Amino acid sequence: MADYAIETLKLTKFFGKRSIVYNLDLRVPKGVVYGFLGPNGAGKTTTIKMLTGALKPTYGEIKIFGLEMPRERVEIMKKVGYMPEKPLAYEDMTVFEFLVYMGRLSGLGKEDAKVKARELMAYTGVGRLAFNKVKELSSGQRQRLSFASALIGDPELLILDEPTSNLDPIGRIEFIGKVLELAKSGKTVFLSSHIVSEIERTCNYVGIIKDGQMIEQGRVKDLTRFESNDYDVVVSDNTLLIEFLRDKVYVREVWEDEGIVRVHLDERFAEKFFTEVPAFIAENGLALKLFKPHTSPLERILMKRFNGGWER
Amino acid sequence: MIPVFETEFLRLLRSRKFKLLFLVTMFPAVIYLLSPNASGTGVESLRAGFDGLFADLLPNYWLGIIGQLIAVIIMTDLIAGEIDRGTIRLILARPVKMSEFMAGKFLAGLSALVVLFGIPYVVVWLYAPLPYDAGFDGVRALAGDFGVVMGSTVVVLAFLGALSMFLAVLVRRPLYATLATFGVLFLGQFILPQVPYIEHPERLTLGYQALVMLKASFENLNVVGIPWETALAFLLTSAGLLTFSWFILLRQEFPD
C-alpha cells in the first residue's frame, strides 16, 4: 500500500442523503504529477477536504504514504503541503508573519522558519509584499502566498486544490513551471482542476471524476493512446498534400479549413499516416509548418464522457 | 503548542479589540489614581483600604458583568473565529495535535486576559502606598493580598475562558458563541438563582465566589466558603470544559 502516495478505497461522503463522493478508488503513485480532473461540483474539493482531514469519510479508507487518515493525521501532515481552493490566511498578519507561523506549525524552529519564509517569498513572487498585511493582498497574491505556505514544510506530497484559479495567464504559466520543477525534484503533486489544458501540460497521471465517481484513471499517455485521430497539418503547398491524402486507406476525411489541412484518420491504419506523410513532405520539398492533434486527446475523452457538458 | 501560543498571544495584544478592552479594564484604576480617597496613613490603613477597594471592585466591575463580557469576547473568538473563517483547515493540514492547538489558544487567551486585568491591578498596587504615605513597606505589605487578587482573578478568568471555548466549539460562530456564553452566564448567575427554593442566590455569582477566594488573604470579608475548595472547583470545572471542547473538536468537520 505504501507504494502509493495517496490511496483511497471506496471513499464515500454523504451530505444528508446526497452522495458527493461515492466509492472513489484513488491511486496516486509516488513521484508523479497527478491531475484530478472534473467539472465544478464533481466532488474534487470534497475529496481533497477528506484527504486533508477537514471532512471525515462517511465510509471508505484513506491512506497517505501508507498511513491511515484521519487516525494518523499528525504523522501524515509532516509529509504533506496543502493549498486550499480558496486561499486561507490570517488577515491581520503580514505575509512574512503568516509564513513563519505556518513554518513553525510544520515543525520548523523559529529561525529556520524565517529563513524558509524569505526563500519561499522570493520563489513565489511575494517577496516585496513581506510586510504587507494579508488583507491588503489581491486574490492572485493570496494564491501565491497560499502556494508558499504549502511548500514551507518541504513536503513530499503537495495537494493543490484549483491552484491557478485566481492567477493571471502569466501567473498560470509560471505556476505550471514551478509545479514541473517540484515534480523533477521528486515530490508527488496532486493537483485538482477543471481546466483540461492545465492538467495536460502539467500532469503525467490523471484521474477523471464525475458525480463523485472515478470514471478514468491512469497515465495520461495510456489514456490518450487511442484518441489522437484528428490531425491539423500546414505545409507550404496544402493543395498538394490534400491531393496526396484523399485516396489513402488511413484517411477517412480530409479538408482545408482557414489554411489548415484537417485530417480525420481511421485509427486501424493510423500508423501509416505517420510514416507516409513525412516521406511525402520530404520527397516534394515542402516546408512543414504545423503538425499536431486537432483537439487535445484528453479533451476528447472528456467530451465523450461528459457528452460535451463541461465547463472550461 | 508553543508556536500557537506565541502567535496568538501577540496577535491578541496587537489587536484593536484588545486596546479598546484595555481602556475598559483600566477605567477603575484611572479613577483611583485621580481620587484615591485615603482613609488614613500607614501600612495598616493601606491594607484595609486596598482590601476594601478590591472587595468592592472585583465582584462589581472587574469580575462582574463588564469583566465577564471582556473575557468572553476575547476567548470565544479564539476557536470560533478559526472555524468561521476556515483557517482551522490550515491547522488540520499541519502536524499539530488538536489538543496542542486548543491548549495553545486557551493559554494565549488567558495570558492576554491576565495582561488586561493585571495591569490595572498592578497600577493600583504600586500607587496605593503613595496616598497612604506607606512607601516601599506598603508595596511589600500588599504583595500577599495582590497575589491572592491576581490568583482569584486568573482562576475565574480560566473558568470563563473554558466555558467560552466550550460554547464556541459547539456554536462555531464568534458572535453567536459570545451571545450564547454571555446568556449562559447571565442565566446561571441572575435568573436561575431566582428559583424560590434556592437558598442564598447571591452566592451563585462569580463575583461572590471570587470574594470567597480573596478570603485566603483578606480579613473581614463577610462571605461563606472555603477559598481553596472554591479555587479547586473552578479549576476542575475548567479542565472538564476544555476536555469536552477538545473531544467535540476532534469529531467535528469543517466543510467551509
Helices (H), chain B: 2-14, 16-34, 43-57, 65-85, 88-92, 98-127, 135-171, 174-186, 206-214, 227-251
What pLDDT is recorded for position A1? 47
pLDDT digits (tens, 9 = 90+) for B31-60: 999 988 888 888 889 999 999 999 999 999
Cα first-last separation, chain A: 35
Q: Per-residue pLDDT tens for A55-67?
A: 999 999 999 999 9
Q: What is the nearest CA distance from B184 to chain A, expressed in angstroms?
A: 30
What is the percent of chain B where pLDDT is above 70?
100
Residue A291's pLDDT is 83
**Closest Cα to residue A205, out of A193, A194, A189?**
A189
Peptide bond preceding A57 in cis form (omega within 30 of 0): no
Express each pLDDT in A201-250 by its tens digit: 788 899 999 889 998 898 887 776 656 677 888 999 999 999 999 888 88
Contact B95 A93 (CB under 8 A): no
User: Domain-by-domain residue ranges, chain A?
Assistant: 4-219, 230-305
Residue A293's identity, in one-letter code, is P
d(CA A41, CA A298): 20
**Which chain B residues touch A104 with a CB distance below 8 Å?**
3, 7
Identity (one letter) of the amino acid at B132? Y
* Angstrom distance (rounded) from CA B244 to CA B239: 9
Query: Which pLDDT score is estimated for A307?
Result: 65
Q: How far away is chain B from the Cα of A278, in angstroms, using its nearest Cα?
A: 52
Residue B71 CA to residue B142 CA, distance in Å, equals: 26
State the Cα–Cα distance between residues A229 and B23, nearest whole angstrom: 75
B93, A80: Cβ pair inside 8 Å?
A: yes
Identify all chain B residues contacting A107, using CB atoms and an 8 Å cutoff: 95
pLDDT of residue A198: 80
Q: How far apart are CA B166 and CA B155, in angstroms?
A: 17
Q: Which of A55, A75, A101 sits opposite B7 (nearest CB)?
A: A101
pLDDT digits (tens, 9 = 90+) for B121-136: 999 999 999 999 888 9
Give the per-residue pLDDT at A114: 96
| Selected residue with higher pLDDT from B137 and B219 | B137
DSSP letter at B62?
Answer: I
Closest CA to A296 of A250, A207, A220, A228: A228
* Domain A230-305: assigned CATH number: 3.30.70
Q: For residue B6, give how far its alpha carbon lies from the nearest alpha carbon of chain A (Å).
A: 10
Burial class (CB in 10 A: 0-12, 13-18, 19+), B80: buried
Q: Is A104 within 8 Å of B86 when comparing Cβ atoms?
A: no
State the nearest Cα–Cα gap between B83 and chain A, in angstroms.
Answer: 11
Beta bridge partners of A254: A263
Between CA A310 and CA A37 the distance in angstroms is: 11
Q: What is the DSSP letter of A268?
A: T
In one letter, which amino acid is A213?
Q
Are the beta carbons of B89 and A106 separated by less than 8 Å? no
- Tell me the pLDDT band of B179, cut-offs 50, 70 and 90: very high
Check pLDDT > 90 for residue B159. yes
Q: How many CA atoms lie within 13 A of B192 on its CB side?
A: 10
Which residues in B lie closer than 8 A to residue A81 (C-beta atoms)? 93
Task: For residue B108, give the nearest of B1, B234, B26 by alpha carbon.
Answer: B1
| Alpha-carbon span B50 to B52, nearest angstrom | 5
In this structure, CATH architecture of domain A4-219: 3-Layer(aba) Sandwich (3.40)
Q: Which residues pair with A188 in a beta bridge?
A: A157
User: Quick one: pLDDT at residue B194?
Assistant: 83
String of DSSP letters for A109-147: -HHHHHHHHHHHHHHHT-GGGTTSBGGGS-HHHHHHHHH
The three cell numbers of residue B8 are 496568538
Sheet containing A260-265, strands listed edge to edge, beginning at the edge strand earlier in sequence: A251-257, A260-265, A230-235, A288-293
Q: B108 pLDDT exceeds 70? A: yes
Mean pLDDT value across chain B: 93
Is B95 in Cβ contact with A74 (below 8 Å)? yes
- Write down the ipTM of this complex: 0.90
Are A53 and B92 within 8 A, CB to CB?
yes
A-chain residues near B172 (CB < 8 A): none
A63 Ramachandran zone, left/alpha/beta (phi>0; psi -120 to 50): beta
Nearest CA in chain B to A83: B90
Query: Averaged over B67-73, what is the pLDDT?
Result: 94
Q: What is the pLDDT of residue A312?
A: 42
The better pLDDT of the pair B90, A270 is held by B90
Q: Are B210 and B154 in contact (CB under 8 A)?
A: no
Alpha carbon B86 to its chain's center: 27
Segment 46-65 of chain A within 8 Å of chain B by CB? 49, 52-56
Q: Which residues of chain A have pLDDT under 70?
A: 1-2, 224-228, 295-297, 300, 307-312
